[in-house]
Amino acid sequence: MSYYQQHQETLDRAILALRNRTFFAQYPEFPSPKIYGETADEDGRNIFQKHLANKFDELLQPEPSGWIGEEESPYMQQPLNIQYPQFEIDQLISRAQVAFDQWRKVSPKERAGLLVESLERVKDRFFELAYATMHTTGQGFMMAFQASGPHAADRALEAVSLGLEEQLRIPEKVRWEKPMGKYQINLLKEWRLVPKGISLVIGCSTFPTWNSVPGIYASLVAGNPVLVKPHPGAVLPIALFVSEVQKVLKESGLDPQICQLVVDTFASPVAKTLAEHPEVKLIDFTGNSEFGSYLEGLPGKVVFTEKTGVNSVILDSVTDIDKVAQNLGFSLSLYSGQMCTAPQNIYIPKAGIKTPEGSVSLSQFAEKLSESINGLLDNPKAGPFVTGAVQNRITSERVADAEKMDARVLLKSRAIENPMFENARTATPVLLQVESSQKQLYGQELFGPIALLISTKNTDESIELASEQAKLQGAISCGAYTTDPEVREKIADQMSLVATPVSFNLTGGIYLNQHAGFSDFHVTGGNPAGNASFTNPEFVVKRFTVVGMREPVG
């Protein structure tokens, strides 16, 4: 039985979920991670420990030119000392070219089945992935488990399923007949799906698998060989994915070099050189806007980016102000604000937020929000695990600098103790109050646990400013709270025009930061925060070309 036959039911269910945008999770995290095995946590931790201070030798990429690795744990603030094989760029390109001729001739169905099989094997390594992600990104354990394991695997499956559906939409052959009165034209028409060529996926340091696997699996299912270039500070999580893909390829009699890991160092990065290589045709990138915009401008490349943005929250009217404060407090604290969907600019009218009990002023809401944040972070069973650790020292410095801005400090950032890691690099959210006229302060992304409460003339100005920032700087998410249907429609309309999805009136166990695979489109591709979306048809169809052949038949 082929891998496609084994996994056809999974692919069919995934495609149906994509069509209907309903809940679907091939790799759930509910009701608890123990669904993956009673000893899976301990086993995964032990395997992760064995990687430390060793060579990662699972990759099926022979003859490296050397071994390198610069990962550091934000929890221990010590190097992991894991070494990965290093290769010359010409060697990587040459191997990818050879692999391309083999991979492009495998049918879309068989490619899809093989890729799902790799995800099924990654499933057995979810806990190992969780510890690898914790100690490279600083994510708390539960987030690391969910984001790098089940959620990433679902996003990969999403890309595979949509890629397969788009390729199967076009028939391989058709007998075409056109009546012409006394005679008719008969043609045999054939269509070939031609992959674009070598694909380069450039990963980020905060979400090394979740942000990378959509591009990796979308390119692979379309028949393109892939070079996976992770951030030098977060290699191990995506290396585990790549190794499983390579193993399935080899077992299927295919060249493992169809998917290669490319590791570099902070001092000698290779992303630019690879991106500019004439044989690289497709590029996926997650990271800063400067480099992302440079990639978008490269001639002759198909580029998919997720860059930086300024996410807003519009507060107009609420039914329960305390629940709103709790929800936003959690959103600001989650992973120390290091999520691309984390809120930054919170707009509050001078007249206050309307509630059933009366108007709540900015200062009153700031007090409630501060209490919510402190209550969460001072809880030893929640705080350290929600905030995790700060991945990069530069982020910690940015938080300290924020308190020196020309703004009123409503809540200072502080370090909190992690009971498991005494050297963890931590920073709680800093809250600042500014006026709507101070665009030089809030009109840029301040990555990390930094939030600004912005006093506006009224809700109309709040909407105008949120829309303006999304148009100029980009935005991946927007939160809005209103009990007025007309205000709701205005927010939805104006934010839609700047391609920014809105989450209205969230108060329970769902947060602005979270996007669900098979249902939510992550990034729209319609504003400066990125030109691509996980996962719409454009994300997959631009990775192959349809070429037609026709010939008269009797």
Integer Cα distance of 249 and 422 in angstroms: 42
Residue 554's pLDDT band (boundaries 50, 70, 90)? confident
Residue 111 has a pLDDT of 98
pLDDT of 441 above 90: yes
Mapping DSSP to helix (H, G, I), strand (E, B) and coil, where does residue 30 land?
coil
Residue 29 has a pLDDT of 87
Residue 166 has a pLDDT of 97
Integer Cα distance of 448 and 42 in angstroms: 31
Residue 401 has a pLDDT of 93
Integer Cα distance of 459 and 436 in angstroms: 12
Mean of the pLDDT values across residues 158-182?
A: 95
Question: Is-cis flag, bond preceding 387, omega within 30?
Answer: no
Residue 116 has a pLDDT of 98
Residue 322 has a pLDDT of 97
pLDDT of 75 above 90: yes
Mapping DSSP to helix (H, G, I), strand (E, B) and coil, where does residue 439 land?
helix
Structure tokens at 160: 């595979």
Gyration radius from the chain CA atoms? 25
Mapping DSSP to helix (H, G, I), strand (E, B) and coil, where does residue 401 land?
helix
Rounded to the nearest integer, the mean pLDDT of the chain is 96
pTM surpassing 0.75? yes
Nearest Cα to Cα of residue 484 among 510, 453, 463: 463
Residue 364 has a pLDDT of 98
Range list of H helices, 196-319: 213-221, 236-251, 271-276, 289-296
pLDDT of 340 above 90: yes
pLDDT of 31 above 90: no
Residue 435 has a pLDDT of 97
pLDDT of 546 above 90: yes
Q: Are 467 and 358 in contact (CB under 8 A)?
A: no
Residue 540 has a pLDDT of 98
Cα(first)–Cα(last) distance of the chain, in Å? 38
Measure CA 488 to chain center. Answer: 28
pLDDT of 509 above 90: no
Q: Are 178 and 184 in contact (CB under 8 A)?
A: yes
Nearest Cα to Cα of residue 477 among 415, 522, 417, 510: 522
Residue 30 has a pLDDT of 80
In DSSP notation, 339-390 reads: STT---EEEEETT-EEETTEEE-HHHHHHHHHHHHHHHHT-TTTHHHHH---
For residues 384, 385, 390 and 391, what is the CA-based torsion angle, rounded to 10 degrees? Answer: 150
Q: Are 145 and 130 in contact (CB under 8 A)?
A: yes
Mapping DSSP to helix (H, G, I), strand (E, B) and coil, where does residue 148 land?
helix
Tens of pLDDT, residue by residue over 183-240, are 899 999 999 999 999 999 999 999 999 999 999 999 999 999 999 999 999 999 999 9
**AA identity, residue 529:** A
For residues 158, 160, 161 and 166, what is the CA-based torsion angle, rounded to 10 degrees? Answer: 120
pLDDT of 1 above 90: no
Domains of the chain, first to last:
3-308+539-552 (3.40.605.10), 312-504 (3.40.309.10)
Tens of pLDDT, residue by residue over 388-440, are 999 999 999 999 999 999 999 999 999 999 999 999 999 999 999 999 999 99
Tens of pLDDT, residue by residue over 280-293, are 999 999 999 999 99
Beta bridge partners of 547: 192
Residue 32 has a pLDDT of 78
Q: Are strands 84-86 and 78-79 parallel, antiparallel or unpaired?
A: unpaired
Tens of pLDDT, residue by residue over 296-316, are 999 999 999 999 999 999 999
Q: Are 413 and 399 in contact (CB under 8 A)?
A: yes
For residues 83, 88, 89 and 95, what is the CA-based torsion angle, rounded to 10 degrees? Answer: -90
Mean of the pLDDT values across residues 161-176?
A: 96
Mean of the pLDDT values across residues 62-73?
A: 98
pLDDT of 262 above 90: yes
pLDDT > 70 in the chain, percent: 100
pLDDT of 34 above 90: no
Tens of pLDDT, residue by residue over 449-501, are 999 999 999 999 999 999 999 999 999 999 999 999 999 999 999 999 999 99
pLDDT of 67 above 90: yes
- CA atoms 328, 334, 339, 344: torsion sign: positive
